[in-house]
A and B are shown apart, each in its own frame.
Chain A
Amino acid sequence: MPRFLVRRVLGALVILLIISAVTFWLFYAVPRDPATMSCGKNCTPDMLAQIRHNLGIDHPIPVQYWEWLKGVFVGRDYAGFGHCNAPCLGYSFANRQPVLGTILDRLPLTLSLAFGSAVVFLVFGIGTGMMAAVKQGKWQDKVASSASLVASSMQIYFVGYLAMYLLVAKLDILDNPSYTPLTDDPVGWASGLMLPWLVLSLIWTANYTRMTRSQLVETLSEDYVRTARAKGLSRRNVFFRFAWRGAMGPIVTIFGIDLATLIGGAIITESVFSLQGVGRLALSSVDKSDLPMLLGVTVLSAGAIVFFNIIVDAVYALIDPRIRLA
């Protein structure tokens, strides 16, 4: 286990290095100059050069990348801002705010959104999927399967606005989406995020229903499940300790990736409900050619995926003793 962790964490660092380098290179491959954008209408070549210098983009790309890396690991000095302590992700080109601070500011909302909706779609998705698998071929299964097919073809910007109109404006069942930190007001936190949670998890619930059902249908017909029944174990026991155990692996794998994706920001959901999360930060940083911010968000999302991949592999080994971590 320790060897596994060391190996995987080192591997993760290499992956993050590669991703940041590629992002850097891709950014300059796009013919847009951040300096021109912040210079404004009456721009002289001198002003442009000054801005370039202040932004630190008057150096060759490898040098810039090296400076950025140095900032992350040991900190760096900025012309107009003074020293920036490690881990320093730099300052936004657009509003000169520190990147790390901005991301940490947005992260609680995104994490709340991700984990909250994950709870909803896991509970409902796996629950419905289990029911459908047990009632395979019966009406419960048919209803669940067709409903999940319809739900997984929905679009958030359609369902989101519709739900907002019906549940908030017309019927007034749910609060207008807003974000209150969990530590300030847990009730306000939950009621403000309830609608985004439900809308965001609708499609995922459908996907998890279908995935759970198909996995369980497969494991329920495994020989070892039949053996468990032949031993006289109850249906319930056989279902949870044998069939579900076998079905869990692939679901855990997909869930790890899905959760990591959500932590990188639910761009559409955040936009529909006007929530200031990491997703919209990523979107606006692309829009504004804000390289430091874009890099920060990219490294965060990539880091989340790499991190959850390690967790998934460790969990998988707990579920299935045939898998050894090395």
Chain B
Amino acid sequence: MTSTDQQIFLSVRDLKVHFSTEDGIVKAVDGLSFDLAKGKTLGIVGESGSGKSVTNLSILGLHDPARTTIDGEILLDGKDLLTATERELERLRGNKMSMIFQDALASLSPYHTIGTQIGETYRKHTGASKKEARARAIEMLRRVGIPQPDVRVDDYPHQFSGGMRQRAMIAMALVCDPELLIADEPTTALDVTVQAQIMDLLKDLQQEFGTAIIFITHDLGVIADIADDVLVMYGGRCVERGTKQEVLRTPQHPYTLGLMTSMPSLEGSVDVPLNPIPGSPPSLLNPPSGCRFHPRCTFTEKVADGLCSTERPLLDVVDGRGSACHLSLEQREEFFAEFAASRHN
């Protein structure tokens, strides 16, 4: 991406994650590639079921091996995670790479105190004593801004408020100073104030430790706030990528454009109806032929020979910037401008 001058820390190449279900094979991720450097944040955007979370669970190796086939390559600091043994992965998880999950209430164990849950990650990877782990847990809680951390460390998750639980979850993920942090919609369930606090916290921590962050969200506002680079996923594939400025200012894919025009604007009149993307996310069991977005795309008929429904558009990436669409860039510039104008009057 734009950070080619920096050392690449995480490299995903042609990742394919397929689940076998009773109804057939679900292609949850179908050929995804990206790179991430230290100290940088990659925002992954997409609807539910676009393969965002699956991608990240397979980086950690948390998929069900009995039902999942994974192809491709995931290199973390040069080490291929897909060929790593369970033992090796256990040593990396929570240590070198860790994850913040979406629903902190469900993701924290109801049976153990916050302190135990933070401390056991630390003990596992550093061999610290119980006492040291507890001290570390208190320190982490203080760092994520939990008041009275030396008291709250003995609380159970149900005694925490939603925002505090998410902070505790972050403290847990950061306890071993991971070099890669995957945040799977960490702020979706929270109110806006808490959301802003948590984003600031992540940015501070990244500055302090140079952590590489993958930030999964469907909220473009959050992306604008935190990401350096953006990857837009649709139906298990990457449809557009680039820097935050490139993707948000001049989107190249009709899906990205749709996402952006579907956002309500604070400046406009309240009476303006929302502009959702028509249709619903594709079935990954029976994905649409050609371009997976074509059944919902406004511009399908502008492409000659019905190419959209027959041929998969390739994602050609130059200098970290690219998109997968059959329209030429000039056509898109023209049509997108028309589209935007029609939506804003």
| Distance between Cα atoms of A236 and B158 in the complex (Å) | 26
| Distance between Cα atoms of A245 and B112 in the complex (Å) | 10
* Residue among A223, A231, A322 making CB contact with B103, cutoff 8 Å: A223
Contact partners of A231 in chain B: CB under 8 A: 93-94, 98, 120-121, 124, 172
Contact partners of A138 in chain B: CB under 8 A: 66
* Residue among A223, A229, A230, A322 making CB contact with B158, cutoff 8 Å: A322
Contact present for B90 and A232 (CB under 8 Å): yes
Contact partners of B343 in chain A: CB under 8 A: none
Contact partners of B66 in chain A: CB under 8 A: 136-138
Closest partner residue, chain B, to A245 (CB atom): B111
* Residue among B86, B99, B110, B172 making CB contact with A321, cutoff 8 Å: B110
Interface bits B84-105 vs A (CB < 8 Å: 1, else 0):
0010001111110011010100
Whether a CB of chain A sits under 8 angstroms from the CB of B109 is yes
| Distance between Cα atoms of A158 and B212 in the complex (Å) | 66
Contact present for A319 and B111 (CB under 8 Å): yes
Whether a CB of chain A sits under 8 angstroms from the CB of B156 is yes
| Distance between Cα atoms of A264 and B231 in the complex (Å) | 66
How far is the CB of B32 from the nearest CB of chain A, in Å? 20
Interface bits A235-251 vs B (CB < 8 Å: 1, else 0):
10000011001100000
Whether a CB of chain A sits under 8 angstroms from the CB of B62 is yes
Contact present for B99 and A230 (CB under 8 Å): yes
Contact partners of B108 in chain A: CB under 8 A: 224, 227
How far is the CB of A233 from the nearest CB of chain B, in Å? 6
Chain B residues proximal to chain A, CB less than 8 Å: 60, 62, 66, 86, 90-95, 98-99, 101, 103, 106-112, 120-121, 124-125, 156, 158, 172
Known: A224-B106, A242-B111, A246-B110. 12 other contacts (CB 8 A): A223-B103, A224-B109, A226-B107, A227-B172, A230-B101, A231-B98, A231-B120, A231-B124, A232-B121, A233-B94, A241-B112, A322-B110
10 pairs of A and B residues whose beta carbons are closest in the complex: A232-B94, A231-B94, A232-B93, A223-B106, A224-B109, A231-B121, A223-B107, A227-B107, A321-B156, A245-B111
Chain A residues proximal to chain B, CB less than 8 Å: 136-138, 222-224, 226-235, 241-242, 245-246, 319-322
